[in-house]
Chains A and B, each alone.
Chain A
């Protein structure tokens, strides 16, 4: 395929993916908006008003970046894992496999589709948060880089999960039993300074800590960890996951007989 043909094929997948999650917006865009609004009301307003300051900000301001990042992570991952697994389940993946599209075009198309949903939900949640608190962006490029790389990384995670998934249980295990606990324990609701040395050290093993803190640094200008090391780690993980996903796709793992 010529580069132009590859570009058309790539756009076809992205448009197909965006059309899919927009078509089923009550399942994809509405739930995170409602859930995050409840977080803002309960943790931010009701509970948060009794907690006081955290990291030099009122509690509501402190948790907003983490909640935005949580939405981005869950929706990027969820979009790709459900969409790609559905194509396997319905065998419509064969439409792509019989075509001359190279594997990197298929992979990149799905990843950008997942990023589109993650970022769209992130924007919706950001807009909703403005009804509850005041936010400014301290470091625009760090904010943008963090959200782009994080959404790409978790889209890749969803893609790899879908490749290995054989049934719908396999699609929900990682989000429910790995992603959600890691996100909740990833410094979304608290500063690592509140933890004892042991728990703080243990928490630093959690990769989501670095994404939440990098994003919080972009928005509020505060972080519990080194921001540039965080960005480097996210970039490295994204690269490794991309190469792994590409290798699995080229091998035909889970999709070719």
Chain B
């Protein structure tokens, strides 16, 4: 049984904007799934339809095998949503927000209070339980939304850019928390702009662009499609010209930094040997961009309107 099945999902807004042009997507139970795409690609509309915040135009959505049209209440019991924007009453207390949400799911008050305590503690918000939500920092507000989404203990958790605006330390602790949830058996779908986040957390990935899925595969297979990786090399001494290296494309970014495109067929040892022969000493080396980011940009560029793309077929 899949955690989420979407068939030929289409959404056209009242102003004529065709946000989704027939999406097919399957997320297996226990998966940690990334849904990526540039702004306006259709990610939030997809999540909106799954979470019943947006009316679909046509298509089928099944959550844990419950049809969202004919078995809506059962499907909704199984899903928890952490939206991109803060969407709680700013004047309510943290504890009340979580307990009230449990009430909306028909959870009796004693159990609701118990669960609220459990998740507020896990997310480091227990000390803030009596504070009004508006008094929380951005990171705390985001964690509050996660606690709220978990209070009915859903099987499928969808997070729309959960770490946007969160500092690095907190982001790492949220990653650990999400990994823990996934290890407990929860299926997690997240959208993010931090591709490093998707690469670190997710096992499968779908890329959506212009309302279509342009890629849907596991992370390893996707990264294998990356034919060229770009590295930045910091040099020990300034130079006034780029070295000539056969098989590599080299650019001089500034007097002490090289940008080298390395095809997948080449090995890095030969690069360093040739650099040494030409008296270029490398002090450090890093990827120009996250590998996934590089691939993402290439895929999205391929899919630009007017360009023929064979990436439009979901794998």
Contacts and interface: CB of A to CB of B under 8 A. Distances in A.
Interface residues of B, number: 34
B72 A100 contact: yes
B45 to A, nearest CB: 8
Given A8-B108, A95-B148, A1 B73 contact: yes
A9 B103 contact: yes
Contacts of B100: 12, 16, 95
Given A98-B53, A100-B74, A6 B106 contact: yes
Contact of B106 (A9, A97, A252): A9
Contacts of B73: 1, 100, 102
B54 A257 contact: yes
A11 interface: yes
A94 B52 CA distance: 9
B139 interface: no
A6 B104 CA distance: 8
B55 A101 contact: no
A78 to B, nearest CB: 17
A11 B109 CA distance: 10
Interface in B91-105: 91, 96, 100-101, 103-105
A134 interface: no
Interface string B77-114: 10101010111111100001000110111111100000
A119 to B, nearest CB: 23
Interface of A: 1-2, 4-6, 8-9, 11-13, 15-16, 19, 23, 86-87, 90-92, 94-102, 252, 256-257
15 contacts: A2-B106, A8-B103, A8-B107, A90-B87, A91-B85, A92-B87, A95-B88, A95-B100, A95-B104, A98-B81, A99-B101, A100-B73, A100-B76, A100-B105, A101-B105
Given A8-B108, A90-B88, 6 more contacts: A1-B106, A12-B100, A86-B89, A94-B83, A94-B87, A100-B76
